[in-house]
Amino acid sequence: MNPTSSASRTVLIGGASGFWGDSQIAVPQLLEQPGLQYLVFDYLAETTMSILQRARLRAPELGYAVDFVTAAVAPNLKTISQRGVRLVSNAGGLNPAGCRDAILKIAAEQGIALKVAIVTGDDVLEQQAQFEPWPGEAASPALPKLLSANAYLGAAPIARALAAGADIVITGRCVDCAPLVGIAMHEFGWTETQHDQLAQACLAGHLIECGAQGSGGLFTDWEQVPDWADIGYPLVQLQADGAFELFQPSGHGGLVTRQTVGEQLLYEIGDPAHYELPDVVCDFTDVRIDDMPGQETSGGRVRVSGARGTAPSNQYKVTATYLQGSHITIMMAIRGQRAIAKARRTADALLARTRTQMLNSGFADYGETLIELLGAESMYGPHRRVSESREIVLRIAARHDDKRALAFLQKEASSAGTSMGPGTRSHFGGRSDVQSVIRTTSFLIPKQAVAVQWNISGDTTVHSVTAHAAQPTSSAQRKQIEDAKPTTTSASPSQRITVGDIAHGRSGDKGDDANIGLMARAPQWLALLREQVTAERVQDYFAHLIVGPVTRYDLPGIGAVNFVLRQALGGGGSCSLRSDPLGKCYAQMLLDMEIDCPETLLPDASH
């Protein structure tokens, strides 16, 4: 560790990747930043774990995020080495050693001496006997054979590897914020019991773990964000007490304001008073995000403070994958008069034709099918506004336990181009592939059952990291947020407006659950937002898409509410047939919901 007695000392960290496939502009841009010390890279969404498992089934030497090696490290390694910038990433996926070896090979080819550490132990496939049910899910004795099972590790092994001199630290599965938290623990000498500082670092990691989402990407008022082509990636200047400033490299696009960063805070956090991570349980309800005056010309800068932490549990979350049949997605363009009706009839005909062929060949019916008319707002259900169109993309998705049965739809889809509606182009880019469905499920496992280790290249010693014995926070210690009493209802006249008139929104996924965060555009609208946008109304609005309940949480510090919609994504991730299996459009849909606003509170239409 590298403890410091100076509370004013800071460390500068750039967020260079938000997912596997993020832009190659990030690393060169961030390397221009004076004083840059670290880059962190996040690759492992739950869907990504399924993709990596597919890759490893094809080639056992794969299973890691090859983009980290080929697009982030290889073309920039000389500059990274010359500037002394250190990298921390979960790019190891299911094969951290393979990722390390690929980087060391590139370093040798470029004549660069490099110390690369890996963190292992997250692979707990052989420890299924110690798995416990994930809260809210019953144990499933009929669960098929698991392909992989990985625990979400924390920051301690990253901090140890950095203290040992690693230039690059590669982990397998860890929580998204762990790379930044590990850097903070190393740089400031924080212990596992400094919960408030750890919570602040977790928040910093959360804000930049999605790359440019933390600097204006996906912002509700997207028109305000300049230069998407050269959008700036986020930088965090973290202090020893945990407070930090967030900004972007000068001279690039993007936007860092209280609103853009507030949206990212709301992204996929569930209960903001109890955001549970392996290093700390975070309370974000009183977080403050303050714009820093005079920074507008450089894209903006904010100061973030107020996160609080308590001791974590003695368990890790585990994400497991398993095979469950196959699926196929067919897409075709249908144009001309009455395109919506033609598209529906085309889909019905293709499914009817292939059902007959499947039955005649001895196959059971489809396990599930989904028809979406892209361009006709089909996902909006009863809230759609389109009654007719002259151009539709017909999307048919189907699932079956036997991939051979899907070959009928794979082949017959082309016939629509000559035997069905006029104006039909029956495929995009050739015949669609039949793919295996790799589902994910979650468990808990005692931390003591997980052998977390790290090793640095050139040293044969494998170092173990013992989980800190934590005392979970009791329910009496949990802060409860009382529902604020409505203050907007009055006898004065009101008008209908949309939620988007008074709020920003951001949405995402956690498995099969969707998360929608709404942040009031100004303080005077928070009470109205809470009064009009209740959990009951949100549940009713999305009734055509969700199965489970809706829960609302409050973040008074930033003037926001956060909704969690259970069983809302048709299975979620790679096992959902929907065109939006990650709930990315849910906030956009909710912003169109109409509410009543007293005339005394009517917003300016320009926002």
User: Could you write out the DSSP letters of every residue in 221-270?
Assistant: TGGGS--GGGBPPPEEEEETTS-EEEE--TTSB---SHHHHHHHHTTT-S
Express as a percent the part of the chain with pLDDT over 90.
Answer: 82
DSSP helix/strand/coil, 444 = strand
Output the average pLDDT for the chain: 92
For residue 65, what are its two tokens? 């995020």
For residue 465, what are its two tokens? 């990291």
Closest CA to 530 of 484, 492, 599: 484
Q: Do the beta carbons of residue 120 and residue 110 sit within 8 Å?
A: no
For residue 32, what are its two tokens? 């221009």
- Is residue 488 pLDDT above 60, yes or no? no
User: Rounded to an integer, what is the distance from CA 61 to the centroid of its chain?
Assistant: 26
Residue spans of alpha helices (H) in 386-524: 407-412, 416-419
Q: Which CATH class is domain 319-439?
A: alpha beta
For residue 88, what are its two tokens? 């921390």
In this prediction, residue 321 carries a pLDDT of 86
Residue 141's alpha-carbon distances to 147, 316, 445, 477, in angstroms, are 16, 21, 17, 35
In this prediction, residue 476 carries a pLDDT of 40
DSSP helix/strand/coil, 69 = helix
In this prediction, residue 482 carries a pLDDT of 44
In this prediction, residue 144 carries a pLDDT of 80
In this prediction, residue 233 carries a pLDDT of 98
Task: Enumerate the domain spans of the chain.
Answer: 10-312+450-465, 319-439, 494-601
Q: Do the beta carbons of residue 463 and residue 340 sit within 8 Å?
A: no
In this prediction, residue 161 carries a pLDDT of 98
Task: Give the type of residue at 346.
Answer: T
For the stretch 281-322, pLDDT in tens is: 999 999 999 999 988 778 999 999 999 999 999 999 999 989
Q: Do the beta carbons of residue 302 and residue 260 sit within 8 Å?
A: no
d(CA 20, CA 66): 9
For residue 167, what are its two tokens? 């230039």
d(CA 61, CA 105): 15
In this prediction, residue 141 carries a pLDDT of 58
d(CA 390, CA 337): 6
Closest CA to 450 of 86, 125, 190, 42: 125
In this prediction, residue 274 carries a pLDDT of 97
d(CA 607, CA 603): 7
The pLDDT of 123-150, averaged and rounded, is 84
- In this structure, what DSSP letter does residue 249 have? -
